[in-house]
């Protein structure tokens, strides 16, 4: 198998390695120093956004045709992974910029792509993704938000819940029902702008983790938008939303990898410093075995995620299975690894004086959003390789 083109694509190239080094240095210098405060104060990581924009890393997936870097799926994974290693909340900037904008890239008209991908690539406006609603989570097709045609306009009404970066983003991909008789085939996708009349936001949710990433409701109250803001054909919005998730679940896997790597790196250093029974606790085989298991799980998750990224880039037929598998496996691994990192720090690990408890709280969300891990198993079971 070694040497076949498929196999080579699973491995990061020299360019990918250089990108990782650059993002790691940036994240350590400009993002990590604020991670604890961003969590403690539950505030948006503006320093991270500024640093990412200054280095053109806020949305590197945007194609070159619209002024972006045109980075491949693996490069995007590496950026998210390295930012998440320092601060999970900040990693939602590149991750959700991809999630929000991919529907336009996959299904939007050329005009729509030019209009919205260009400011995204320049760092002039972020993108959010509005699928979930108060009564439509795992069963997203049960949404109630409606769009009604009125001449050359569509008028949107409804409530979207749990919208990451809501209020900060300029642009919102909104899924809404255009034909209630057709369930998922009666859902269409639209670009809504923050400045459109009738758009407002709920109070930030008070969360267990990723506290620096604002999660708010988006209210659409008679929002009247030009008909050309529809993404793709009428009735294709749900299919576009699901196709998007096939690609972006890999970015949640990347976030999980980064959080877990941050926790493992911290624990590895700590066990060499902390002494009990007259020697570093890292000298005890019981502790070494825990670190070995953590590293093993992390590397298995990384290989699955990179394989899925290669499939995303090539649009392989088994992408749906791999996207779900990578997200599910990496997020479960991150939860185990961060929990073990807290264990390795003992009582100190349980306090906010050390970063691993934040990492453990942050890891939990990766098992829930972009479809819970139960939903990932449903997706995998329906798409067995
Ligand atoms: C911090 C945060 C950020 C988010 N960001 C976004 C965003 O930017 N955009 C967006 O659109 N959404 C976002 N979400 C929403 C997220 O995707 C949903 O919360 C998630 O899909 C689950 O939906 P729910 O919360 O309604 O849970 P429910 O669907 O009510 O699920 C509750 C439990 O039931 C289980 N369950 C449900 N159905 C089944 C089944 N058929 N079989 C087995 N188990 C099942 C679930 O796995 C879960 O354990 C975000 C959520 C959070 C918490």
Distance CA 223, CA 218 (A): 12
Q: What is the pLDDT of residue 272?
A: 98
pLDDT, tens digit, for every residue of 226-285? 999 999 999 999 999 999 999 999 999 999 999 999 999 999 999 999 999 999 999 999
Instruction: Write down which residue in 85, 102, 122 finishes a domain.
Output: 122
Pocket lining for ligand 1, CB < 6 angstroms? 128-132, 137-138, 162-164, 207, 210, 215, 365, 368-372, 374-375
Q: What is the pLDDT of residue 7?
A: 44
- List the beta bridge partners of residue 235: none
Q: Are residues 244 and 378 in the same domain?
A: yes
Query: What proportions of the chain, in percent to the nearest 5, are helix, strand and coil?
Result: 60, 15, 25
What pTM was computed for the model? 0.97
Q: What is the dihedral of CA 175, 181, 182, 188, to 10 degrees?
A: -20
Q: Which of 176, 368, 378, 379 to mutate to test the pocket of ligand 1 (most atoms within 8 A of CB)?
A: 368
Q: Are residues 273 and 140 in the same domain?
A: no
* Tokens of residue 122, six digits: 């320049």
Distance CA 259, CA 266 (A): 11
193 is catalytic: no
Number of separate domains in the chain? 3
Please name the residue whose Cα sits nearest to atom 50 of ligand 1: 162
| Domain-embedded: residue 6 | no
Look up the CATH number of the domain holding residue 146. Answer: 2.40.110.10
Distance CA 254, CA 215 (A): 20
Q: Are residues 224 and 275 in the same domain?
A: no
Look at residues 376, 345, 377 and name the one whose alpha carbon lies nearest to residue 358.
345
* Tokens of residue 185, six digits: 């085939």
Q: Which domain holds residue 40?
A: 14-122
Q: What is the pLDDT of residue 9?
A: 53
Q: Are residues 50 and 133 in the same domain?
A: no
Look up the CATH number of the domain holding residue 263. Answer: 1.20.140.10
| Domain-embedded: residue 69 | yes
Please name the residue whose Cα sits nearest to atom 12 of ligand 1: 132
* Tokens of residue 363, six digits: 């890891």
Q: Are residues 75 and 200 in the same domain?
A: no
* Tokens of residue 237, six digits: 């919005």
pLDDT, tens digit, for every residue of 9-41? 567 889 999 999 999 999 999 999 999 999 999
- DSSP per position, 106-145: HH--HHHHHHHHHHHHHTS--EEEE--BTTBSSSGGG---
Q: Are residues 229 and 362 in the same domain?
A: no
Q: Are residues 75 and 24 in the same domain?
A: yes
What mean pLDDT value characterizes the chain? 96
Q: Are residues 242 and 378 in the same domain?
A: yes
Q: What is the dihedral of CA 218, 219, 224, 230, to 10 degrees?
A: 40
Instruction: Write down which residue in 235, 262, 278 finishes a domain.
Output: 235
pLDDT at 306 over 60: yes
Q: Are residues 341 and 279 in the same domain?
A: yes
Q: Are residues 111 and 87 in the same domain?
A: yes
Q: What is the pLDDT of residue 10?
A: 63
| Domain-embedded: residue 266 | yes
Residue with the larger pLDDT of the pair 11 and 180: 180
Look up the CATH number of the domain holding residue 75. Answer: 1.10.540.10
pLDDT at 3 over 70: no
Query: Is residue 272 classed exposed, middle or buried when 0-12, 13-18 and 19+ CB atoms within 10 A define those classes?
Result: exposed
Q: Are residues 20 and 97 in the same domain?
A: yes
Q: Which residue has the tokens 């950026």?
A: 79
């Amino acid at each position: 198998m070694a040497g076949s083109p498929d196999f080579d694509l699973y491995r990061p190239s020299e360019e990918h390695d250089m990108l990782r080094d650059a993002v790691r240095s940036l994240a350590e210098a400009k993002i990590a120093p604020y991670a604890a405060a961003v969590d403690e104060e539950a505030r948006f990581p503006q320093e991270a956004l500024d640093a990412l924009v200054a280095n053109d890393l806020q949305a590197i997936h945007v194609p070159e045709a619209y002024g972006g870097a045109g980075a491949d799926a693996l490069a995007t994974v590496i950026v998210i992974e390295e930012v998440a290693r320092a601060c999970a909340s900040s990693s939602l900037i590149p991750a959700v910029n991809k999630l929000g904008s991919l529907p336009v890239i996959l299904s939007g008209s050329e005009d729509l792509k030019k209009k919205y991908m260009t400011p995204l690539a320049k760092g002039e406006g972020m993108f959010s993704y509005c699928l979930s609603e108060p009564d439509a989570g795992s069963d997203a097709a049960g949404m109630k938000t409606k769009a009604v045609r009125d001449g050359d306009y569509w008028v949107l009404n409804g409530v979207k819940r749990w919208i990451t970066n809501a209020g900060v983003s300029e642009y919102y991909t909104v899924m809404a029902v255009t034909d209630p008789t057709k369930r998922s085939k009666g859902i269409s996708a639209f670009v809504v702008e923050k400045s459109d009349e009738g758009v407002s936001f709920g109070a930030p949710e008070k969360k267990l983790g990723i506290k620096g990433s604002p999660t708010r409701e988006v209210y659409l109250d008679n929002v009247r938008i030009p008909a050309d803001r529809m993404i793709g054909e009428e009735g294709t919005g749900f299919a576009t939303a699901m196709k998007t998730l096939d690609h972006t679940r890999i970015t949640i896997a990347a976030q999980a990898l980064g959080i877990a790597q941050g926790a493992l790196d911290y624990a590895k250093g700590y066990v060499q410093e902390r002494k009990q029974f007259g020697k570093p606790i890292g000298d005890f085989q019981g502790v070494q075995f825990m670190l070995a298991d953590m590293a093993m799980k992390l590397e298995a998750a990384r290989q699955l995620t990179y394989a899925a990224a290669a499939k995303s880039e090539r649009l392989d037929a088994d992408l749906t299975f791999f996207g779900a598998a990578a997200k599910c496996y990496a997020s479960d691994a991150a939860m185990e690894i961060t929990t073990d990192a807290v264990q390795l720090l003992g009582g100190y690990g349980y306090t906010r004086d050390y970063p691993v408890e934040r990492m453990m709280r942050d890891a939990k969300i990766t098992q829930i959003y972009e479809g819970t891990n139960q939903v990932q198993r449903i997706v995998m079971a329906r798409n067995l390789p």
